[in-house]
Every structure is written in C-alpha cells, then in structure tokens.
Copies of this chain bind each other. A is one copy, B any other.
C-alpha cells in the first residue's frame, strides 16, 4: 500500500521513452536515458527500468526522506499538531499531522514532490553537456531542466502517475465491486488513493443518491396510487416538498463537506472558515499579476489605486466574456435548437425524424466542441486570480451551452405546446436513453480506446519485426497502464479533468428531474436507480479503465454548487408554469399581456437581486491583498519557531528562556544584529 508502510517503496510515477537501438560502439555514458536514470538516482530516487513492446518505461519511487526534503524545498504548507498550517521542514517532521492511514504526505502532496524532484534535474555544471540519443546529439544547457529538454525533443513521450496494484485491488474489492453497500463508500481510502477532488465527488454522489431516495419514493407513490379527485392537489404538495428537499440537501451537503474536510484535517474554504487560506499557496498566484504595477517604493494610495484599476478591469473583461457567451448562446444556439424541436414536431415520417436527429446529433457535437474552445480562449484573456477561478469560469460557460442543448427542446414542448403527454414521453426518452447510453459509453469507450491502442502497438511491432505471425503479449503492467486513456474532460483539458463530465452528467440529470418534476414525478426513481449504478461504474472506470488520474486538491464541488442552486431556482419557476398548464387544460386561463410583462420583470429583478452579490465581492481587492500580505508576513516570522516548539513538545522554549535569562540578553542580541534571519543557520536537532 502506498500509505501504510513508508519503508515499503511503491513506484508511483512512470516516464515513457521509446526503445532505442544501442550500437555496439556507442559510449553508453552519454546516452540521454542513461544520464536521466543516473541523475534520478543521484536525487535519491529509486528507479526501475522496464522494457515494453515498443517503449521503455522508467518507474520512479521515492523514499520518505527524499519526499520530505522536496516538500521543504517547495515550501509546502502542512497541517501541524496545533492545527495551524505551517511550512514543512523535514527536521521537524514530528510536528506535522499524519494522514488517516498513518502516512505523512497525501497523494496530492507526494505527486507535487515527485514532479518537483524529476523536473528539478538541472545541469549544475558550468558547461553544456552533450547527450546522445539514437545517434542524435542533444545539448543540455547550463541551468536547463533535463526532463523538459527531453520532453521537447520527444524523447520522453509521457510522464504519468502509476496505479498502486495492491491498493487498487483492495479498492476494487471494497468499493467498485461492492454493490450491496449501495451509497456507502470508503471515502477516506478514496481520498488517500485519488486525492481530495475525486473523494469529494464520490462523497457528493453518495449523499445525493441517498437523499434522492425520498423524492423517488414519493414520486413512485404518486405514480402508483390513484388519488382520484385529489390528484390535482397532490402535485403542488409534491412540488413544494421537492423544492424543500433540494434546498435542505444542498445546505446539508455544505455541512457534510466541511465535516469531511475537518475529518481529513484539510483547510476548509466553505462557509466562513477561510481562516487558514492565507497560509496556503493561493496568495502567491494572486500577487503575481500585480507585481509589475507597483514599484518598490510606490506609496499606499497609488498601490490602492492600482489594485482598484486591476480589479475593475478584471470585472470588465469577465463581464464582456460572459456577455459574449450569453449572446452567442441566445442568438446562435437558441434558434438552432428551437428549429430542431419545431421540425421534429411537424415532420410526419419516422424515417425523416430519424435522419433529422442524426444530423442534429452530429451538429451539436461540433457545436459544443467549438463552444468549449471559445470559452477556454476567452478565459485565458481574463486575468483571473488562480486556476481554480478559471476552471469555475469555464464550468459556468460550458454549462450554459449544455443547458440550452439539453433543455430547450423540452421547454419547447412544455411551455409552448402545453402538451404534457408529449413532454412526458420526451422526458422518459431522454432520461432512459441518455443515462443508459451514457453509462455504457462511459465505460466501453475507454476500453475500446485501450484496445485500439493495443492493436496499433501490435501492428507497429509486427511491421518492425517483419513477420505477421505470433501473438505479442503485453507482459508488463506499466505498459498496459500506458495504453489506457487519460481521465480527462471532453472540453479544455488544461483546466479540468474527467470529473467535469461526471459532474455535468449529474447536473443535467438534476435539472431534468427538478425542472419538470410536476410533469413526471417518476423521474426521481429513475435517477435514483441510475445513480446507484453510477457510483459503482464511475469507481470501476477510475480503477480499471483509466490511467491513475493526476490528483487535484479542490476541497469543494466549486462552481457546480452554484449551478445546482441556479437549477433549483429555475425549477421553482418552471414547475409553477407546469402547474398552470396542468390545471388549465382547456387553455381558459387568460393572462393579460401587461400582467405577464410585469411578472416577467419581477422575476428578472428577483434574479438580479439574488444573483448580483456573486459578481462583485464584498471586499475590495486592495483590502484582501493587504490582509494576505499581513498574514504571510506573520506566518514567515513565526513558522520556524512554532514548528520547533511543537515538535519538541514545548521544551525548547523553556530552554531558550532560561538560556536568555542567564546571559546579558540585550547586549548580545544587538551584537548579532547582522546575523541572517533566514532559517538555514538554525541548528538542526
């Protein structure tokens, strides 16, 4: 297991290099791969070379101390015994809290250290080193990272995290194949193996599915029992209760999320508790975009103005981008979707309908891809403070696209045609088809990709060997993993990983069942069943189908929470409209156009009232910057002293105190005023 025994090394990273033909006469010492392996070993890493069918694999493992030194170099912040996050020091290792399984570093931290170690191999000598590779010559310049050089030359084809076979099999048994646990999952172990973001996703999925059982049961009752004349009274009750259910669910999810984080001893950005945020890395990335603005000695008001200008310019950019996206969705996508929905309605022949749908599906594929790319480009123009914000911004924009795509047809049926039966049909179609098909695709597509890649490798190998007989076996596990696809999002690989697609699926499902709850109460039962399988298939997908994903440390579900909240508000409005349609089957209820206009205006204003506070933060940028600066300052001053006192259990402090009592303190300290303040001179205990 990669956590339990830290003495027991596990290879966690693999580098892929193509197989090279070494000629007899070659000087093996300057072979670039040989140099790389030597350098890795020099760093203290344990290296294992595996020969695959067409590629060579360098598996890397790191002893705990090497990781610790890397973490200290990275100035990583870790939770200490006193509950504060302080900069890691290998010497004071006792002061830091352990993971639930007893290991020192989480997987995410280990991954960071690994990257730091292997990308930190730099030419420290004073001259250019000449490396050879397949007869080509490479010039490794002074101060250049070896790995980056090799990557840019195409010699290192990939660096990817490796599965840990023992833990993987244990998780497979305890989690992915443990169907009878229903919504229960070993979240701590998922966190240890996949990192926080994936653990939060599965925790959310589990809780959501568990909570879904209530409206699913209610919906089932509504479907099965005929309430006779009360039927029309039961629906509003259902409506109210599912809205309350949703509101409660998300509030309790936030609580569960912060409880989960507290249990795992992780900073909690949810709620009011950004106490420790200042000790995290966020500040570093926030500071950077402004550094060029302020010189070393600009006065305070100028700095404030610069911040203010920067802040508002950021809002302006963001506003422009949002407006662009919203406009293009309304002007381009909406007519297209409406046209499809309308054509589908008026076309009589089934063949034509089929053809139309095929074309439609083909077109929207491109549509969303283009949309995603445009969004990514727009976001890159924004001066968003950190990647987390960027990812959120992308999520909002892309969700806008999918929202239109998924629901506009349904809205068309629901509101314009007032045809509840068609609506119900469409909903059933969408729910069943989309979910069954998606679940199947999600799991089979990676497998096909994997098989195709295997086939490609075999073919290439055979061509090289010249013979077309004899089966080629992939004996090494690392090569098989290399051929598995990466867990990545369908849009914008840089900003999001595969969780984007999983969350998108959940959000679209949630919107579908909530917004049309009154038209089709049974949908909740469908969704509950689907999610029960989703938990296990998603687990299977992660454990079996994909490479081990790169860990991410997001502590909440981020932008998705806001999207879910938005869907609740939407569903209040759409269900009200649906109820009106249901009660008014003959279309007798007339609404004055004036009244309708006023009502629309009212709803828009309410939306603005509640949505606006999200766009302008309550704290000006310069205030936040000040606070952050103060906090980092404070932290810099106390970090070392604190660590020492924690790890020695307070003894050092009292020792120092007696020391200073015995000596003439003040004269001494003024003598040593020139002494450096940095920590390296501090004696290691």
Smallest beta-carbon distance A594→chain B, Å:
5
Query: CA A623 – CA B657 in complex, angstroms?
Result: 35
Q: Mark A660-681, 1 if CB is under 8 A from B, else 0.
A: 1101011011111101110001
A569: B residues at CB distance < 8 A? 606, 609
**Given known contacts A616-B251, A660-B659, A673-B651, is B573 in contact with A602 (CB within 8 Å)?**
yes
Q: Indicate which residue in B258, B620, B673 contacts A259 across the interface (CB closer than 8 Å).
A: B620
A623: B residues at CB distance < 8 A? 258-259, 261-262, 268, 273
Stretch touching chain B among A7-15, A463-471, A538-546, A635-643 = A635-643
Q: Mark A638-657, 1 if CB is under 8 A from B, else 0.
A: 10011001101011111111
A window 42-72: CB within 8 A of B: none
A window 582-640: CB within 8 A of B: 583-584, 588-592, 594-595, 598-599, 601-602, 605-606, 608-610, 612-613, 616-620, 622-624, 626-627, 629-631, 633-634, 637-638
**Given known contacts A259-B620, A601-B236, A646-B637, is B660 in contact with A243 (CB within 8 Å)?**
no
Query: CA A326 – CA B106 in complex, angstroms?
Result: 50
Q: Mark A229-259, 1 if CB is under 8 A from B, else 0.
A: 0000000100110011001100110110011
A window 62-108: CB within 8 A of B: 82-84
Q: Is the CB of B251 within 8 A of A618?
A: yes
Interface of A is mostly: helix
Query: CA A661 – CA B656 in complex, angstroms?
Result: 11
A247: B residues at CB distance < 8 A? 608-609, 612
A573: B residues at CB distance < 8 A? 602
**Residue A298 interfacial (CB < 8 Å):** no
Query: CA A622 – CA B631 in complex, angstroms?
Result: 25
**Given known contacts A244-B608, A268-B623, is B631 in contact with A657 (CB within 8 Å)?**
no
> Among A258, A633, A658, A669, which residue has the most Cβ atoms of chain B within 10 A?
A669
Smallest beta-carbon distance A89→chain B, Å:
15
**Residue A271 interfacial (CB < 8 Å):** yes
Smallest beta-carbon distance A366→chain B, Å:
37
A598: B residues at CB distance < 8 A? 236, 576, 579-580, 583
Stretch touching chain B among A25-33, A126-134, A274-282, A354-362 = A274-282
Q: Is the CB of A595 within 8 A of B591?
A: yes
**Given known contacts A273-B274, A591-B595, A646-B637, is B608 in contact with A243 (CB within 8 Å)?**
yes
Query: CA A660 – CA B670 in complex, angstroms?
Result: 16
**Residue A685 interfacial (CB < 8 Å):** yes
Q: Is the CB of B83 within 8 A of A630?
A: yes
Q: Indicate which residue in B594, B608, B634, B661 contacts A583 across the interface (CB closer than 8 Å).
A: B594
Q: Is the CB of B599 within 8 A of A258?
A: no
Query: CA A622 – CA B590 in complex, angstroms?
Result: 54
Q: Is the CB of B642 within 8 A of A637?
A: yes
Q: A663: nearest residue on chain B (CB-CB)? A: B659
A633: B residues at CB distance < 8 A? 82-84
Q: Is the CB of A651 within 8 A of B638?
A: no
Q: A685: nearest residue on chain B (CB-CB)? A: B666
Smallest beta-carbon distance A645→chain B, Å:
6
Q: Is the CB of B572 within 8 A of A619?
A: no
Q: Mark A263-275, 1 if CB is under 8 A from B, else 0.
A: 0000010111111
Q: A236: nearest residue on chain B (CB-CB)? A: B601
A677: B residues at CB distance < 8 A? 650, 653-654
**Residue A146 interfacial (CB < 8 Å):** no
A673: B residues at CB distance < 8 A? 651, 654
**Residue A683 interfacial (CB < 8 Å):** yes
**Residue A180 interfacial (CB < 8 Å):** no
Query: CA A86 – CA B669 in complex, angstroms?
Result: 23
Q: Is the CB of A657 within 8 A of B642?
A: no
Q: Is the CB of B676 within 8 A of A255?
A: no
Q: Is the CB of A630 within 8 A of B675?
A: no
Q: Is the CB of A595 within 8 A of B580?
A: yes
Query: CA A634 – CA B685 in complex, angstroms?
Result: 22
A608: B residues at CB distance < 8 A? 243-244, 247
Q: Is the CB of B665 within 8 A of A683?
A: yes
Q: Is the CB of A277 within 8 A of B275?
A: yes
Q: Is the CB of B83 within 8 A of A605?
A: no
A650: B residues at CB distance < 8 A? 637, 677
**Given known contacts A576-B601, A631-B83, A638-B641, is B272 in contact with A275 (CB within 8 Å)?**
no
Q: Is the CB of B665 within 8 A of A572?
A: no
A584: B residues at CB distance < 8 A? 592, 594-595
Q: Is the CB of B642 within 8 A of A634?
A: yes
Q: Is the CB of B660 within 8 A of A656?
A: yes
A660: B residues at CB distance < 8 A? 655-656, 659, 683
**Given known contacts A83-B633, A646-B637, A665-B685, is B271 in contact with A618 (CB within 8 Å)?**
yes
Q: Indicate which residue in B627, B652, B657 contacts A262 across the interface (CB closer than 8 Å).
A: B627
**Residue A568 interfacial (CB < 8 Å):** yes
- A sample of 29 cross-chain residue pairs with beta-carbon separation below 8 angstroms, ordered by A number, consists of A83-B630, A83-B634, A236-B601, A243-B609, A247-B612, A258-B618, A258-B619, A262-B627, A268-B627, A271-B619, A275-B627, A572-B609, A588-B592, A591-B591, A637-B642, A638-B645, A641-B653, A650-B677, A651-B670, A652-B665, A653-B677, A654-B669, A654-B676, A655-B675, A657-B675, A657-B682, A658-B672, A659-B663, A660-B683
A interface residue numbers (CB < 8 A to B): 82-84, 236, 239-240, 243-244, 247-248, 251-252, 254-255, 258-259, 261-262, 268, 270-275, 277-278, 568-569, 572-573, 576, 579-580, 583-584, 588-592, 594-595, 598-599, 601-602, 605-606, 608-610, 612-613, 616-620, 622-624, 626-627, 629-631, 633-634, 637-638, 641-642, 645-646, 648, 650-661, 663, 665-666, 668-673, 675-677, 681-683, 685
Could you list 19 further interchain pairs (A-B, Cβ under 8 angstroms) beyond the known A83-B630, A258-B623, A262-B626?
A: A83-B629, A239-B601, A243-B605, A243-B608, A244-B608, A251-B618, A252-B616, A255-B620, A272-B274, A569-B609, A584-B592, A589-B595, A591-B595, A638-B641, A653-B677, A655-B670, A657-B672, A658-B672, A665-B683
Q: Which 9 A-B pairs have the closest CB atoms?
A: A83-B630, A655-B669, A271-B618, A654-B675, A84-B634, A254-B618, A576-B602, A271-B619, A262-B623
